[in-house]
Structure 1
Amino acid sequence: MTVLPEAGTRHEESATGRLRAVLAQAAQVVGADRVTYPDEETTGTPATMLGPNAGLHRSRAVFGVVRPQTAEDVRRVVELFADGETPAALHAFSTGGNWGLGSREPARDGAVVLDLSGLDQIRDIDVVRGWAVVEPGVTQARLARLTEGSERMLNVTASSAHTSVVGNALDRGVGLRHQRVEDLTGLEVVLPDGELIRVGWWPEQDRPTPVYTHGLGPSLVQLFVQSDLGVVTAATVRLLPRPEALRVVRLAFAPDKVEAATAEVRRWVTQGLTRGVVKIYNEVAARAYGGEPGQYLVHVCVDGTPEVVDALSGILAVEAVRSRLFGAVSDSDATDPAAAGHDVAVRVERAYAGDPDPTDALFEAKTGRPAVRLDEEGGFLFFLPLVPFSGAALARADELVEQVRAETGIRCGVTLNVLGADVVDCVVTMRFAREGEEAERAHRVLDRLYELFVGEGFLPYRLDIDHTGWADRLPAGAGARSFARRLKDAVDPHHVIAAGRYA
């Protein structure tokens, strides 16, 4: 880790001069208008230049912001820091839309920030073979637009249409078809010494090799997921086959039926009656989707040929009614203009079909602000544990959220993303007003959620910038953390790349 000198020493003056010299060299690489320095009056006292963040996390001290536009820019900037003599490490972000987990902020103080939003090229795309080569600044709306009317689609998330495809996948975000890390087939990475490499599968102009992530030998793509071993400048992303037909079945159940209802949904998943990620919303989260007051809401996607969709949606309706667990069952909201939830249902089905809503209507309903104003005006925190997919485990998770409400008065929104027959991504959200004591109270709730869920064995799979220390408190394989640090020291002996949430 880079150790910052104490204020007022000659060492500090020398370090500050070195830092300014390196930033001046970076300006020669990317252009003077693409480097932001601290204000003159704050020289020696690092000041943040990243603006507010939606979670109202403490702003970290930042020594400069560099905005490269090409992979070669990134390589040359990293090379400037490679000798370890500069008293700052590099922190990279894609478009900065990591709302509720820290937005653009580094995990620690004392970084120079690489804003990669200017790397916004879709370098290549093949909708027939099902891949695209994209840079970190490419949003899901842009990439999805290129697949419209084709036989392929993007695995989109339920977040803003204007968020980064690459950035979200590298943090193991969840799409509506599966966890997005499964879509990464290859990565272009600048290593801490400035070398640019490619790992995994990449297209070859003269040979149509099959798309296969792992190749021969150790599979290296995953080394750079939730990682501080390099700066990713591009990724090859899978484009999924587009189904001929698709429908989302909507169901509702009462809060006292969480265990039985989720167990029934699991039976449908294990027996192949569903496609994509089944989503279950508690009564708070369901409001944005037109859920009935006081009821949980379930979205079950079925797709395939029109005949398969008709058959599966019919079977699900029969199973739901037969179970006597669900108070409302509908598979026609998106096709019936008179249905109360018609507009929302259309947007939901289009998202499952790979078409994010460029107006962000559902995103704004969930967060209370447009994406471009969320950091400045919104108040939003995430907690993201994994829970075993069983009725008993999900009922216990619900009890923990209720315990937090009883202790603090805050009722969190909860979305359960079913990632398969055995695991659920439990997205716990807190919206709060930025004024007064609301933010401080929301952060206390977040601390309590970590304590309760981890104590139960429901471990987070993504961390916010204020809980990076939990990486060492969570169980891992014997020697795993030590081995990861040995890899870091071997690949990045001067710790040029800022340690992040997971290292």
Structure 2
Amino acid sequence: MTVLPAEATRPGTCADPDLAAVLDRVARIVGTDGVTLPAEETNGTEAGPLGPNAGTYRSRRLHAVVRPRTAEEVRRVVESFADGRTAARLHTHSTGGNWGLGSREPAQDGAVVLDLRGLDRVRDIDVAAGWAVLEPGVTQARLARLLRGTERMLNVTASSAHTSVVGNALDRGVGLRHQRVEDLTGLEIVLPNGELIRVGWWPEPGRPTPVYTHGLGPSLVQLFVQSSLGVVTAATVRLLPRPDALRVIRLNFGPDTVESATAEIRRWVSQGLTRGVVKIYNEAAAKAYGSPPGQYLAHVCVDGTPEAVDALSGIVTVEAVTSGLFSAVSDTDAGDPAADNHDIAVRVERAYAGDPDPTDTLFEAKTGHPAARLDEEGGFLFFLPLVPFTGPALARAHHLIEQVRAETGTRCGATFNALDADLVDCVVTMRFPRTETEADRAHRTLDRLYELFTAEGFLPYRLDIEHTEWADRLTPGTGARDFARFLKTAVDPHRIIAPGRYA
């Protein structure tokens, strides 16, 4: 990628004179150092202007990368494209850590990318009331630092500490407490015509209204989740009460007991014995957490007052041992420096308590590379279906992953995140050497996972940039997709904002 001088954005640089004029105007808004033009067109076989991506997806042809620093600059940039005269469309990303799903790449060719990392302010925060106003460039590590030692915490994800809070929530990422979309209480959005609006709940100076996402009339926040109806420039995010005490119980079991062991864990969830997201790792995924070879691993969190934690961990531990389903049961690894997995257990418990590891030790163990180098050095793909939280369904998911391994030779990691007593978010990962042969095999594996899981009714809740057509394939005949297209046409008649991913 080459940063060009001011004259590079003047009319005549682009074959499309209308686009050249718009980019010239944009350079005056964000500064010439805030606009990058491709040095040359990519042929799809090598990294384009956004650099390589961990999923080895084809680099899209771009017109420019624009780096605004304020919501007002974003508004003026969008307004510059609002008349639809150019063929360029706007694609946004926050910190760009959408690894395995496309990273920073848009779904289609011909985009102008809005890199929102420069919008990195924590605009306001109220610990007592439990909210923060964040811009897209704010990472979970930064917000967690601000909350350290307070009565509130962030719903942390198991991804890198240096990923965007807002960007992840808008794509329905999963935290250790619940899906992060539940933390969004309000959004600031630039609409395709350049108008800036706010929906949901926002703080009012001098008038402490209670935090309530839905407001009066239609609830609008969810319209802009996995949406191409506007550009989000800030969000109000709920901060969770920090528990007085917390413990994570560690359980191992064999693949042959997946159905019965997961059914037992579900019983604990349904009876309120656990808090947060129970995480269940298959043999490949469990390796990063020090689990014995050939064993599944489960993390079961209990929290509350110290007395409640002692009682609940004792109950769950006794239930696990007496069931006879688990090969190992421990609730002391984080508190016992002599335990084999002490360091890992401490990091896991801190994450459940709202403190992501700034060194990304576990993230690097799972992906094989530091976050800053994952796109350049790693090979990593995600498939993200939803599975009913029943023993038979999770056993079936296990068998499908084993079937794919037999067919393709790819050993997939799988993490089953129990969002509640009925629903599991299944995170299937493919980690591969960055060679053409291995990348092709990983992508064939991804295709096969889509086919097998959706045939079972285990439908994805997030899409990568090469499987965008599944948005239509998964909801045939319901009218929902037609209505979504109707809304898109009404709000964005010129298709200015990021078409192609979910709409």
| CA deviations over 1:256-289 (Å, ceiling 9, x no partner) | 0000000000000000000000000001000111
In structure 2, relative to structure 1, the CA distance for the partners of 1:247 and 1:58 (3 Å cut) is: same
- Deviating more after overlay: 14-23 vs 89-98: 14-23
Give the corresponding residue for 1:368. Answer: 368
Trace 1:7-406 onto structure 2 (pairs within 5 A).
Answer: 16-39=16-39, 42=41, 48-406=48-406
Runs ≥4 residues deviating over 3 A: 12-15, 41-45
Aligned residue identity for 1:400: L
| CA deviations over 1:309-338 (Å, ceiling 9, x no partner) | 000000001100111000100000000000
How far the C-alpha of 1:44 sits from its partner, in A, is 13
How far the C-alpha of 1:409 sits from its partner, in A, is 1.2
Aligned residue identity for 1:255: P
Q: Give, in whole Å, the separation in 1 of the partners of 2:13 and 2:51.
A: 27
RMSD: 1.6
How far the C-alpha of 1:474 sits from its partner, in A, is 0.2
SS of alignment partner, residue 72 of structure 2: helix
Q: Give, in whole Å, the separation in 2 of the partners of 1:197 and 1:13.
A: 34
SS of alignment partner, residue 284 of structure 1: helix
Q: Give, in whole Å, the separation in 2 of the partners of 1:87 and 1:436.
A: 32
Q: Which consecutive unaligned segments of at least 5 residues does structure 2 have? A: 1-11
Q: Give, in whole Å, the separation in 2 of the partners of 1:18 and 1:500.
A: 23
Aligned residue identity for 1:191: L
How far the C-alpha of 1:92 sits from its partner, in A, is 0.4
Aligned residue identity for 1:151: E
Give the corresponding residue for 2:473. Answer: 473
Q: Give, in whole Å, the separation in 2 of the partners of 1:72 and 1:233.
A: 9
Q: Give, in whole Å, the separation in 2 of the partners of 1:331 and 1:61.
A: 52
Give the corresponding residue for 2:411. Answer: 411
How far the C-alpha of 1:52 sits from its partner, in A, is 0.3
| CA deviations over 1:23-54 (Å, ceiling 9, x no partner) | 11101000100101133x65999x93100000
| CA deviations over 1:325-356 (Å, ceiling 9, x no partner) | 00100000000000000000000000000000
SS of alignment partner, residue 424 of structure 1: strand
In structure 2, relative to structure 1, the CA distance for the partners of 1:238 and 1:43 (3 Å cut) is: closer
Q: Give, in whole Å, the separation in 2 of the partners of 1:179 and 1:325.
A: 29
How far the C-alpha of 1:502 sits from its partner, in A, is 1.0
Q: Is the 8 A contact 2:274 2:300 kept in 1?
A: yes
Q: Is the 8 A contact 2:14 2:20 kept in 1?
A: no
SS of alignment partner, residue 421 of structure 1: coil
| CA deviations over 1:204-252 (Å, ceiling 9, x no partner) | 1111100000000000000000000000000000000000000000000
Give the corresponding residue for 2:498. Answer: 498
How far the C-alpha of 1:18 sits from its partner, in A, is 1.4
Q: Is the 8 A contact 1:48 1:63 kept in 2?
A: no
Q: Is the 8 A contact 1:15 1:86 kept in 2?
A: no
Aligned residue identity for 2:305: T
How far the C-alpha of 1:500 sits from its partner, in A, is 3.9
Q: Give, in whole Å, the separation in 1 of the partners of 2:129 and 2:67.
A: 33
Aligned residue identity for 1:32: T
Q: Is the 8 A contact 1:417 1:424 kept in 2?
A: yes
Aligned residue identity for 2:453: F
Q: Give, in whole Å, the separation in 2 of the partners of 1:375 and 1:207.
A: 45
TM superposition score normalised by structure 2: 0.96
SS of alignment partner, residue 326 of structure 1: coil
2:486 aligned with 1:486 = yes
Q: Give, in whole Å, the separation in 2 of the partners of 1:20 and 1:127.
A: 46
Q: Give, in whole Å, the separation in 2 of the partners of 1:194 and 1:77.
A: 8
| CA deviations over 1:101-145 (Å, ceiling 9, x no partner) | 000000011100000000000000011110000000000000011
How far the C-alpha of 1:14 sits from its partner, in A, is 8.6
Give the corresponding residue for 2:6. Answer: none
Q: Give, in whole Å, the separation in 2 of the partners of 1:430 and 1:43.
A: 26
SS of alignment partner, residue 150 of structure 1: coil
SS of alignment partner, residue 16 of structure 2: helix
Aligned residue identity for 2:405: R
How far the C-alpha of 1:480 sits from its partner, in A, is 0.6
How far the C-alpha of 1:13 sits from its partner, in A, is 10
| CA deviations over 1:273-308 (Å, ceiling 9, x no partner) | 000000000010001111111100000000000000
Q: Give, in whole Å, the separation in 2 of the partners of 1:118 and 1:97.
A: 15
Of all paired residues, the percent bearing the same amino acid is: 78
Aligned residue identity for 2:209: T
Give the corresponding residue for 1:4. Answer: none
Aligned residue identity for 2:329: V
Q: Which consecutive unaligned segments of at least 5 residues does structure 1 have? A: 1-11
SS of alignment partner, residue 364 of structure 1: helix
In structure 2, relative to structure 1, the CA distance for the partners of 1:476 and 1:168 (3 Å cut) is: farther
How far the C-alpha of 1:459 sits from its partner, in A, is 0.1
2:430 aligned with 1:430 = yes
SS of alignment partner, residue 117 of structure 1: helix
Aligned residue identity for 1:428: V
- Deviating more after overlay: 349-358 vs 13-22: 13-22
In structure 2, relative to structure 1, the CA distance for the partners of 1:44 and 1:317 (3 Å cut) is: closer
Q: Give, in whole Å, the separation in 1 of the partners of 2:14 and 2:337.
A: 69
Q: Give, in whole Å, the separation in 1 of the partners of 2:278 and 2:501.
A: 28
